Amino acid sequence: MSVEPLPLTSTPKTITAANDMKRNHGHARNPGLALDLSKVEDIRVNFSALERRAATLPGRRSVKKDYQAAWLLKALSCIDLTTLSGDDTPGRVQRLCAKAKQPVRQDLLDAMGFDRPLHTGAVCVYHDMVETAVKSLEGSDIPVAAVSTGFPHGLSPLPQKLAEIKASVAAGAKEIDIVITRHHVLLAEWNALYDEVSAYREACGESRIKTILATGELATMRNVAKASMVCMMAGADFIKTSTGKETSNATLPVTLAMVRMIREYQEATGFKVGYKPAGGISKAKDALVYQALMKDELGHDWLQPDLFRFGASSLLGDIERQLEHHVTGHYSSGNRHPIG
For 152-175, what is the mean pLDDT? 97
pLDDT-derived band at 63, boundaries 50, 70, 90:
confident
In a domain, 28, yes or no: no
Q: Name the average pLDDT for the chain.
A: 90
In a domain, 34, yes or no: no
| Angle at 83 (CA atoms; ends 77, 84), nearest 5 degrees | 135
Q: Which residues of 261-296 are buried (b: 16+ CB within 10 A; e: fewer)?
A: bbbbbbebbebbbbbbbbbbbebbebbbbbbbbbbe
d(Cα 174, Cα 146) in Å, to the nearest integer? 8
In a domain, 283, yes or no: yes
Going from the C-alpha of 33 to that of each of 119, 176, 210, the distances in angstroms are 34, 20, 17
pLDDT-derived band at 5, boundaries 50, 70, 90:
very low
pLDDT by residue (tens digit) across 8-26? 333 444 334 434 444 555 6
Amino acid sitting at position 312? A
In a domain, 235, yes or no: yes
Contact 281, 307 (CB under 8 A): no
Judged against a pLDDT cut of 80, whether residue 335 lies above it is answered with no
Question: Per the structure, how many domains does the chain have?
Answer: 1
Q: What is the predicted pLDDT for the residue at 82?
A: 95
Q: What is the predicted pLDDT for the residue at 323?
A: 95
**Which of 36, 80, 161, 177 is the catalytic position?**
177
Going from the C-alpha of 276 to that of each of 73, 212, 237, the distances in angstroms are 18, 9, 11
Judged against a pLDDT cut of 90, whether residue 164 lies above it is answered with yes
Contacts of 190 (CB under 8 A, 6+ apart): 35, 37, 40, 184, 226, 230
Q: What is the predicted pLDDT for the residue at 6?
A: 38
pTM attached to this predicted model: 0.90
In a domain, 175, yes or no: yes
Stronger pLDDT, 56 or 1, i.e. the higher one: 56
Judged against a pLDDT cut of 70, whether residue 262 lies above it is answered with yes
**Which of 237, 276, 286, 306 is the catalytic position?**
276
For 49-76, what is the mean pLDDT? 89
Q: What is the predicted pLDDT for the residue at 3?
A: 37
Judged against a pLDDT cut of 90, whether residue 59 lies above it is answered with no
Q: What is the predicted pLDDT for the residue at 19?
A: 43
Q: What is the predicted pLDDT for the residue at 25?
A: 55
In a domain, 33, yes or no: no
Q: What is the predicted pLDDT for the residue at 13?
A: 43
CATH number of the domain enclosing 199: 3.20.20.70
In a domain, 181, yes or no: yes
pLDDT-derived band at 81, boundaries 50, 70, 90:
very high
**Which of 240, 286, 306, 318 is the catalytic position?**
240
Residue 177 known to be catalytic: yes
Paired strand residues for 176: 146, 209
Q: Which domain holds residue 148?
A: 45-336
> How many Cα atoms occupy the beta-carbon half-sphere of 30 within 13 Å?
32
For 45-66, what is the mean pLDDT? 87
Q: What is the predicted pLDDT for the residue at 1?
A: 44
Least confident of 7-16, 17-26, 198-207, 273-282: 7-16
Alpha helix (H) ranges present in the chain? 37-41, 47-60, 65-76, 90-101, 106-112, 130-136, 158-171, 182-186, 190-204, 221-233, 252-269, 284-297, 314-328
In a domain, 38, yes or no: no
- My answer on whether omega of the bond before 152 falls inside 30° of 0, hence cis, is yes
